[in-house]
Copies of this chain bind each other. A is one copy, B any other.
Amino acid sequence: MPRPRSRLRLADVAERAGVSLTTASRALAGRDGVREEVAERVRRISRELGYVANPHARTLAGGTASTVGLIVHQIDDPYFSEIAGGVVQVAGERNLIVQICHSGRNPRNELRQVRHLVAQRVGVIIIAGSGYVDPRMEAEAKAELSVFQDTGGRLAVIGRHFLNADAVRPDNKGGAETITGHLLSLGHRRIAVAAGDLLLSTVADRLAGVVAALERAGLSSPELPVAQAEFTRDGGRVAAERILRDHPDTTAIVALNDAMAIGVLSALRAHRVPVPHRMSVAGFDDVSFAADLAPGLTTVRLPLAEMGRQALSMALRPPAARPRRKSTGHALVVRDSTGPAPSQ
């Protein structure tokens, strides 16, 4: 589909302002070497004409696009959509454009998306969501991203480890310790975990937190029942079924994210297991509607939107000598899905 020539070029603005293309460019870019009076005139004319630069031309000439690539596992997962909300907000304020890609929790796919973004010459890449402990994939992605950084690209990651990248890191281990401690203090001793793929670093970290809390309480962790399934609502359902079957005397389930917790609650409802009287359920993330579930979900609050905002803000700051780390706080949010352990 052939498009007619662009509607309004910088040359048009320059002509109207009675200056050269060069001067117009400099004026609008705020470069110096242009008398303030002239610059102002160019800006005014540009505004009057409604001129908007062609970003492709700009990128081609200049090197880097004013675009940020955001890689999430799945945008319709509230965890990611809330993070994305934060990213899009900051981007909007700075007139940047956000490109969204799904990695679908698939390392190969993620690599592909990274390649895509690099080919696009985006200026910033933000990767949200856990990395894979799978070393081979991780290595390939790392290689690709290092090239990206070496050529001036800015990288920030949320909730995963990555050498040389600015990182926003929720305290997964600490949060898991906190919530496990909450259950212990309610008297629970037979605790089970609904976990996602253990190769996901987030899952591994949170699980480590649960184990740490149990050990600190003097409970031997080797026998900790860990039901591994997808890190989603359906996975939570599956995990809960398995726990009910294999460890029927469990009194509390820690789901390693809210999505799984929802699945767990749903499975428990199907099995007519009263929550929290017979079984306590805890989640992690505090996605926006955790409060509205039946029953309200006790969980660990992570400032998701804020994390997205911080990631982009960090990436946008001039590159530091050493990668920045921003640890986010977490807070225990007690609602109705947890209660005292049944007195047996």
Contact = CB atoms under 8 A, between A and B. Distances in A.
Contact of A3 (B64, B88, B296): B64
A60 B56 contact: yes
Interface in A44-98: 52-57, 59-60, 63-65, 67, 74-76, 78, 81-82, 84-85, 88-89, 92, 95, 97-98
Contacts of A95: 116
Interface of A: 1-4, 7, 52-57, 59-60, 63-65, 67, 74-76, 78, 81-82, 84-85, 88-89, 92, 95, 97-102, 115-116, 119-121, 123, 147, 151-152, 233, 262, 265-266, 288-289, 291-296, 305, 319
Contact of A293 (B1, B4, B293): B293
Q: How many subunits of this chain does the assembly comprise? A: 2
A102 B97 CA distance: 11
Contact of A84 (B76, B289, B291, B293): B76
A120 B102 contact: no
Contact of A92 (B59, B102, B296): B102
A62 to B, nearest CB: 8
A124 to B, nearest CB: 11
Contact of A305 (B54, B76, B82, B92): B76
Given A56-B59, A75-B81, A119-B55, A92 B97 contact: no
A55 B120 contact: yes
B98 A64 contact: no
A152 B288 CA distance: 40
B294 A295 contact: yes
A67 to B, nearest CB: 8
30 contacts: A1-B123, A1-B319, A2-B152, A3-B63, A52-B116, A53-B119, A54-B60, A54-B119, A56-B56, A56-B57, A56-B59, A56-B60, A57-B60, A60-B60, A75-B84, A76-B78, A76-B81, A76-B82, A78-B78, A78-B289, A88-B100, A88-B101, A89-B102, A92-B101, A97-B120, A98-B101, A99-B99, A265-B292, A292-B294, A293-B294
A40 to B, nearest CB: 23
A100 B56 CA distance: 17
Contact of A98 (B65, B100, B119): B100
A99 to B, nearest CB: 5
Nearest to A120: B55
A261 to B, nearest CB: 10
A234 to B, nearest CB: 11
Nearest to A308: B76
Given A63-B2, A97-B99, A99-B97, A121 B88 contact: no
